[in-house]
């Protein structure tokens, strides 16, 4: 509420600064990653003092133990349709530059608490993104702008309105000659209408739009060809073969939810019979993305080589599709310069040509069902080539005509530099921070007589503006927008603006002196202009069917495409090298382009690939790291850490080299000086496999200077390196290592599975022949079955009857009434006893692309606190759900960090073991099983011994080291003496149905027990005086399941064989992680499949992860020691491996789904 005070204690970070002496004690117990149980700056003496005082306080407190008087304040006039205690869901949409994401917002007594995707919008199917999930926290950001300001004085809303009216009069006189706008792009048709009015009222005004992450490259390229702005919307569901050219269509880009969802549909495999129908993805990319990690064939090339690569592909495809003429000839010519293509990879060009040739042949063989996509940062010529290829391949792509883009920031700057601009409006965004460095926006902005900034929170631009108008959050304003394919969607307020803020529509309407100035009327009028009748119905549906963009069916002429291809955009100038690096500018996974820099959820959500929180870093390839190490004489990789070499022989005794030095679990990164275009930035480097050798990735959007308390001092700002000519990538970067180091908060220390069967993978082809491969892996395939003689019982029976099998553990009785319930005792009563539903969850690793939306969704649903970088460094992050990311390399070489890797993702949360190891060690029965098979946590009983976390094989339990919710930031280390300050705003976001945990208790995933109970209660309420008490399948969706755009997570009743989750678990790919421990987890995984092409030069007969497993365990001593069967002969090894398994007898054959 109060204005932020930058000189005050820091928010969630650098507690080291506050503790007087950061004396790190080497405590022996290590139940958490290194550092977790250290008690800094508190010696025993102080501790005793503190405790003595708190006992004293407790004594004092006793005197006042009378129950406090509380009031119930009912509505004075009960509004209709509001039932206290029952959440209401409203449709809305989250505005973006090119698409509004349709959402449903959960509100409790008028407070929006959680956003979900709107399932009515079929392409997303109810999925949503991390940003959608975390946007609700922005609404309650204590550092958001609460009022408009001019200089240091507050401006009342009425004064702003008067001022706008004045401006209208003043600029009517000069027809808007002195009026310049720089706005964020928007899809809102209402805004477009107002802009048209504006242009009419002020014909000489300048309207420009700018956003730092502009994804209109392909549209602009298409405009040159179609003569109108055209957007391509590929339908990956229909695609059997996809080639991505430096394009990360599965995450990050606009509409990626739809792409990920439809692509996942083409990858879904329900049984070994449809393994052959799985789609295949080829990806050539310069940085490691979700798309590359999903790809069946991945080729590392630098961005500058993508043009020639595209030309090479074009030659092959056009030839095979029989397209001749000038385009084909031109492609031949352009690809002629491909001689040393890929030389940065040190593969020979023949190998690469074979790659392209076979890839093209595969695409051509699936003409009609093949798609080529290109990354937006690539030159227009590449997009033109891709357009030609998709035409030749008859790709399942819908082309739609979109509104033309407005002028860019350059025009605004030109106008400002003329020096006669009276009023400059900056509507949203943050150009002072993120405009291309060479354009010098700051100087240009200062040339305007008066600059006005409409913004949500104070930022670099608001500091430089004369008048700052506070903007409303989208959850508090009326408006509209369009989805990526053009459907009209509403923006509906969930709550009255919390502060005196304005929305953009009102501001523009007042400026043009429109008849209606309130956003509701404006949006409603727009809806009517779209031909809509029933506005309330529109609001309840959340979209207007049939309002999509018009389809473009123009037949493309290859010669027209040819005119759009410029050879200098294709041909490689000079190749990147260690001295002349290529820098790729991308968004960062925390704050996108900088806009979420004050959002704690986003900051703490680990990056999918690097697993870094609260920071960005210069990402470099292992090759470059090695060369820099040698050149600058500074060590990047740690010393090799050999485990007991005597006990273990050879490679089995050593762990693979880490990518960075992890001292006490903290990533100690070398700081480098990075120079691009003559400007230098100092930032830490992080080695990431899979990058093109001499391409470095610079995630933009952190290192904000003027920002709220969360974002202060977080990360590094790479915008100063970005010029208007090199928005996507720059070609002349150089790096110099320094002696300095910097601590990065990395949540995953080691990158390798070390050959263990954690994420199980196989090729689709292999799966078709060996449907049981997943159960042939891991220790459990060599051990007697966990269930002993009951192993062949069905999942439903196993879940209900808790067969003891070979376990020493006494099992809870899930399907029996408690012995103290008289009414259900006796044989007759027992026969009528209703089945107790047993909950379980299945994760299909095949369609998890690592987007991390589940992590934030869980945080939002379950009131999971943010702990800050300092605590993440100590391993105390609180996420109930995490995504583990593993790399695996073709060759197991413990002394090398591999350059080419396959990536595997695995979402891990509490597995709800039936034989839960955490339960048997709890001295106070705080974690116990319930009858539904849930491993429950009774927070009130927990005394914080942390034995359970120690005994959890999955490391999913989280301990509240501090009181994150009630204490003031920076006061948590003082324990009970820390100042209380439960901030009103963030408190409003909390889910009222989940306990807010306090210091000293353990917590973990509950399978969203509040949702389970709500569904059960709802079912019983409906049942009334009847026995229909079983919750219907699909009525419960866990938060992680609901957010997942690819439906990788299924939840339900496993005692019902017909439930969706039972069907998933019945798959032969189903396996339990660490199943050999016989903990019987209720969460199981479906093994991942890869679908490589045999003809390709980089064909792998097994996924690297599987190969490593085989290398290390599959044919080792446990198999009678025929070591010679190490995979060197492709498929023949499969036979070897399989035969050796067969020797083990029948117990492997009966591994059914568990």
- Residues in contact with another protein by CB under 8 A are 65, 67, 69-78, 83-86, 817-818, 820-824, 829, 832-834, 836, 928-932, 934, 936-940, 993-995, 1006, 1009-1010, 1012-1013, 1017, 1020-1021, 1023-1029
DSSP state of 286: S
Contacts for 902 with CB less than 8 Å, ≥ 6 apart = 293, 298, 761, 887, 888, 889, 1090, 1103, 1104, 1105
Shorter beta-carbon distance to another protein: residue 595 or 999 = 999
Residue 328 structure tokens: 């084909």
Shorter beta-carbon distance to another protein: residue 982 or 1028 = 1028
Is residue 996 a contact partner of residue 1010, using CB atoms and an 8 Å limit?
no
Shorter beta-carbon distance to another protein: residue 406 or 921 = 921
Q: Shortest Cβ distance from residue 958 to another protein (Å)?
A: 16
Q: Shortest Cβ distance from residue 77 to another protein (Å)?
A: 4
Shorter beta-carbon distance to another protein: residue 752 or 1006 = 1006
Residue 382 structure tokens: 């590449």
Write a three-state SS string for 162-210.
HHHHHHHHHHHHCCCCCEEEEECCCCCHHHHHHHHHHHHHCCCCEEEEC
854: left (phi over 0), alpha (psi -120 to 50) or beta: alpha
CA distance 487 to 544: 6
Cα–Cα distances in Å, from 1059 out to 125, 868, 1009, 1013?
A: 20, 40, 19, 18
- Please report, in angstroms and rounded to a whole number, the separation of the first and last CA atoms in the chain: 51
Shorter beta-carbon distance to another protein: residue 852 or 863 = 863
Shorter beta-carbon distance to another protein: residue 151 or 1024 = 1024
* Beta bridge pairs of residue 685: 618
Shorter beta-carbon distance to another protein: residue 710 or 1009 = 1009
1127 three-class SS: coil
Shorter beta-carbon distance to another protein: residue 82 or 545 = 82
Angle at CA 613, nearest 5°, toward 454 and 595? 10
Shorter beta-carbon distance to another protein: residue 857 or 1001 = 1001
* Beta bridge pairs of residue 298: 283
Shorter beta-carbon distance to another protein: residue 129 or 935 = 935
Residue 859 structure tokens: 């945080």
Q: Shortest Cβ distance from residue 523 to another protein (Å)?
A: 28
Residue 860 structure tokens: 């939002």
Q: Shortest Cβ distance from residue 364 to another protein (Å)?
A: 56
Cα–Cα distances in Å, from 955 out to 33, 323, 621, 910, 949?
A: 10, 57, 30, 8, 7
Q: Shortest Cβ distance from residue 1079 to another protein (Å)?
A: 19
Shorter beta-carbon distance to another protein: residue 75 or 647 = 75
Q: Shortest Cβ distance from residue 814 to another protein (Å)?
A: 10
Nearest Cα neighbor of 709 from 32, 2, 1, 5 is 5
Q: Shortest Cβ distance from residue 949 to another protein (Å)?
A: 19
Is residue 482 a contact partner of residue 96, using CB atoms and an 8 Å limit?
no
CA distance 1064 to 1049: 10
Neighbours of 710 (CB within 10 A): 28
Write a three-state SS string for 774-802.
HHHCCHHHCCCCCCHHHCCCCHHHHHHHC
CA distance 410 to 425: 15
DSSP state of 1113: I
Q: Shortest Cβ distance from residue 1026 to another protein (Å)?
A: 6
Q: Shortest Cβ distance from residue 938 to another protein (Å)?
A: 5
Residue spans of alpha helices (H) in 862-960: 869-873, 917-921, 947-951
Q: Shortest Cβ distance from residue 914 to another protein (Å)?
A: 14
Shorter beta-carbon distance to another protein: residue 473 or 1030 = 1030
Q: Shortest Cβ distance from residue 31 to another protein (Å)?
A: 23
Shorter beta-carbon distance to another protein: residue 438 or 1013 = 1013
Burial of 1077 (0-12, 13-18, 19+ CB in 10 A): middle
Q: Shortest Cβ distance from residue 1054 to another protein (Å)?
A: 17
Determine which helix (DSSP H) or strand (DSSP E) holds 398, and give its type and residue range.
strand 397-401
Q: Shortest Cβ distance from residue 313 to another protein (Å)?
A: 54
Is residue 1069 a contact partner of residue 1087, using CB atoms and an 8 Å limit?
yes
Contacts for 49 with CB less than 8 Å, ≥ 6 apart = none
* Beta bridge pairs of residue 232: 399
Q: Shortest Cβ distance from residue 485 to another protein (Å)?
A: 38
Shorter beta-carbon distance to another protein: residue 495 or 994 = 994
b/e burial code for range 359-370 (CB count within 10 A of at least 16 → b): bbebbbebeebb
Nearest Cα neighbor of 376 from 388, 368, 386 is 386
Shorter beta-carbon distance to another protein: residue 523 or 942 = 942
Q: Shortest Cβ distance from residue 80 to another protein (Å)?
A: 11
Q: Shortest Cβ distance from residue 1056 to another protein (Å)?
A: 15
Q: Shortest Cβ distance from residue 842 to another protein (Å)?
A: 21
For the sheet with 88-94, list strands across it.
88-94, 101-108, 111-117
CA distance 1097 to 353: 10
Shorter beta-carbon distance to another protein: residue 65 or 173 = 65
CA distance 733 to 685: 14
Q: Residue length, the chain?
A: 1154
Shorter beta-carbon distance to another protein: residue 779 or 928 = 928
Shorter beta-carbon distance to another protein: residue 26 or 827 = 827
Neighbours of 459 (CB within 10 A): 29
Q: Shortest Cβ distance from residue 86 to another protein (Å)?
A: 5
Is residue 595 a contact partner of residue 137, using CB atoms and an 8 Å limit?
no
């Amino acid at each position: 509420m109060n204005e932020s005070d930058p000189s005050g204690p820091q928010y969630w970070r650098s507690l080291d600064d506050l503790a007087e002496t950061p004396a790190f004690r080497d405590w022996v117990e290590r139940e958490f990653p290194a550092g977790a149980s250290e008690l800094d700056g508190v010696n025993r003496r102080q501790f005793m003092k503190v405790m003595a005082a708190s006992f004293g306080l407790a004594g004092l407190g006793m005197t006042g133990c009378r129950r406090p008087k509380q009031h119930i304040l009912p509505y004075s006039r009960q509004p209709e349709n509001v039932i206290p205690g029952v959440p209401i869901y409203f449709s809305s949409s989250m505005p973006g530059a090119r698409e509004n994401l349709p959402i449903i917002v959960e509100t409790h007594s008028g407070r929006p608490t959680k956003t979900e995707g709107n399932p009515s919008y079929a392409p997303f199917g109810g999925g949503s993104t991390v940003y959608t999930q975390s946007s609700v926290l922005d609404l309650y950001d204590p550092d958001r702008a609460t009022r408009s300001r001019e200089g240091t004085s507050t401006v009342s809303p009425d004064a702003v309105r008067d001022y706008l009216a004045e401006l209208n009069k003043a600029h009517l006189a000069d027809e808007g000659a002195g009026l310049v706008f720089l706005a964020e792009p928007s899809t809102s048709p209402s805004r477009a209408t107002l802009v048209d009015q504006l242009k009419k009222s002020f014909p000489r005004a300048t309207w420009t739009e700018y956003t730092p992450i502009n994804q209109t490259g392909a549209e602009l390229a298409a405009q040159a060809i179609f003569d109108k702005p055209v957007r391509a919307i590929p339908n990956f569901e229909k695609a059997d073969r996809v080639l991505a050219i430096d394009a990360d269509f599965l995450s990050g880009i606009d509409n990626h939810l739809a792409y990920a969802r439809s692509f996942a549909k083409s990858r879904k495999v329900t049984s070994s019979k449809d393994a052959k129908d799985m789609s295949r993805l080829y990806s050539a990319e310069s940085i490691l993305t979700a798309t590359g990690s999903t790809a069946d064939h991945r080729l590392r090339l630098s961005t500058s080589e993508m043009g020639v690569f595209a030309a090479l592909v074009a030659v092959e495809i056009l030839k095979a599709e029989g397209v001749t003429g000038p385009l084909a000839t031109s492609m031949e010519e352009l690809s002629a310069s491909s001689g040393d293509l890929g030389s940065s990879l040190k593969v020979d060009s023949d190998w690469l040509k074979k790659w392209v040739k076979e890839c093209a042949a595969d695409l051509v063989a699936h003409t009609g069902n093949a798609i080529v996509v290109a990354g937006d940062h690539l030159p227009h010529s590449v997009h033109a080539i891709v357009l030609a290829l998709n035409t030749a391949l008859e790709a399942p792509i819908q082309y739609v005509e979109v509104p033309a883009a407005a002028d860019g920031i350059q025009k605004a700057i030109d106008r400002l530099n003329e020096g006669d601009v009276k009023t400059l409006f900056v509507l949203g965004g943050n150009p002072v921070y993120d405009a291309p460095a060479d354009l010098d926006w700051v100087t240009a902005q200062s040339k305007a007589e008066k600059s006005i900034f409409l913004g949500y929170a104070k930022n670099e631009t608001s500091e430089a503006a004369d008048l700052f108008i506070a903007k409303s959050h989208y959850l508090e304003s009326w408006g509209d927008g369009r989805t990526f394919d053009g459907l009209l969607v509403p923006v509906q307020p969930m709550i009255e603006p919390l502060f005196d803020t304005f929305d953009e529509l009102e501001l523009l309407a007042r400026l043009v002196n429109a008849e209606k100035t309130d956003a509701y009327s404006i949006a409603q009028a727009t809806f009517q202009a779209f031909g809509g009748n029933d506005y309330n119905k529109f609001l309840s549906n959340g979209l207007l069917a049939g309002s999509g963009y018009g389809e473009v069916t123009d037949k493309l002429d290859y010669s027209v495409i040819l005119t759009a291809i410029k050879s200098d955009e294709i041909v490689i100038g000079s190749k990147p090298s260690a001295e002349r690096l290529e820098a790729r500018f991308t968004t960062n996974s925390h704050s996108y382009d900088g806009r979420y820099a004050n959002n704690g959820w986003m900051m703490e959500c680990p990056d999918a690939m690097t697993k870094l929180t609260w920071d960005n870093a210069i990402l470099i390839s292992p090759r470059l790291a090695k060369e820099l190490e040698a050149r600058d004489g500074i060590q990047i990789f740690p010393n090799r850490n050999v485990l007991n070499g005597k006990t273990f022989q050879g490679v089995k005794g050593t762990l693979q080299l880490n990518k960075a030095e992890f001292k006490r679990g903290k990533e100690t990164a070398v700081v480098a000086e990075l120079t691009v275009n003559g400007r230098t930035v100092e930032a830490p480097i992080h080695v990431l496999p899979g990058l093109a050798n001499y391409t470095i990735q610079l995630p933009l959007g952190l290192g904000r200077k003027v920002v709220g308390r969360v974002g202060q001092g977080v990360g590094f700002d790479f915008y100063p390196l970005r010029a208007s000519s090199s928005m996507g990538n720059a070609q002349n970067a150089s790096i110099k290592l320094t002696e300095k180091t910097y601590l990065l908060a990395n949540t995953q220390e080691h990158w390798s599975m070390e050959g263990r069967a954690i994420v199980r993978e196989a090729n689709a082809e292999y799966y078709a022949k060996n449907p049981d491969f997943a159960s042939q892996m891991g220790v459990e395939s060599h051990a007697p079955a966990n269930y002993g003689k009951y192993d062949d019982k069905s999942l439903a029976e196993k879940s209900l009857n808790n067969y003891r099998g070979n376990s020493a553990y006494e099992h809870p009785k899930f399907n029996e009434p408690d012995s103290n319930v008289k009414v259900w005792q006796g044989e007759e009563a027992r026969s009528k006893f209703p089945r107790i539903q047993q909950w379980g969850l299945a994760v299909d690793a095949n369609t998890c692309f690592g987007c991390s939306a589940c992590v934030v969704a869980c945080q939002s649903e379950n009131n999971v606190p943010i702990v800050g970088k300092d605590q993440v460094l100590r391993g105390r992050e609180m996420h109930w759900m995490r995504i583990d990311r593993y790399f695996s390399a073709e060759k197991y070489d413990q002394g090398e960090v591999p350059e080419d890797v396959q990536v595997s993702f695995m979402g891990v949360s509490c597995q709800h073991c039936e034989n839960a190891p955490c339960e048997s060690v709890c001295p106070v029965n705080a974690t116990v099983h319930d009858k539904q098979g849930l491993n429950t946590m009774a927070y009130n009983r927990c005394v914080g011994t942390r034995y359970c976390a120690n005994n959890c094989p999955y490391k999913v339990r989280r301990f509240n080291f501090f009181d994150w919710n009630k204490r003031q930031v920076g006061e948590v280390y003082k324990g009970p003496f820390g100042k209380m300050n439960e901030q009103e705003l963030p408190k409003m976001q909390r889910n009222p149905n989940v306990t807010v945990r306090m210091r000293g208790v353990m917590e973990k995933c509950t399978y969203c027990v509040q949702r389970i109970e709500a569904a059960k209660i709802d079912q019983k309420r409906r049942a009334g005086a009847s026995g229909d008490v079983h919750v219907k399948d699909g009525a419960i969706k866990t938060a992680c399941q609901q957010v997942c755009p690819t439906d990788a997570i299924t939840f339900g009743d496993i005692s019902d064989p017909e439930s969706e989750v039972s069907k998933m678990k019945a798959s032969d790919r189903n396996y339990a992680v660490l199943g050999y421990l016989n903990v019987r987890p209720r969460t199981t995984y479906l093994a991942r499949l890869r679908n490589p092409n045999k003809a390709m030069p980089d064909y792998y007969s097994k996924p690297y992860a599987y190969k490593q497993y085989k290398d290390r365990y599959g044919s080792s001593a446990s198999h009678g020691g025929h070591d010679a069967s190490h995979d060197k002969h492709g498929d023949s090894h499969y036979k070897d491996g399989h035969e050796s398994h067969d020797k083990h007898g029948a117990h492997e054959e009966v591994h059914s789904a568990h």
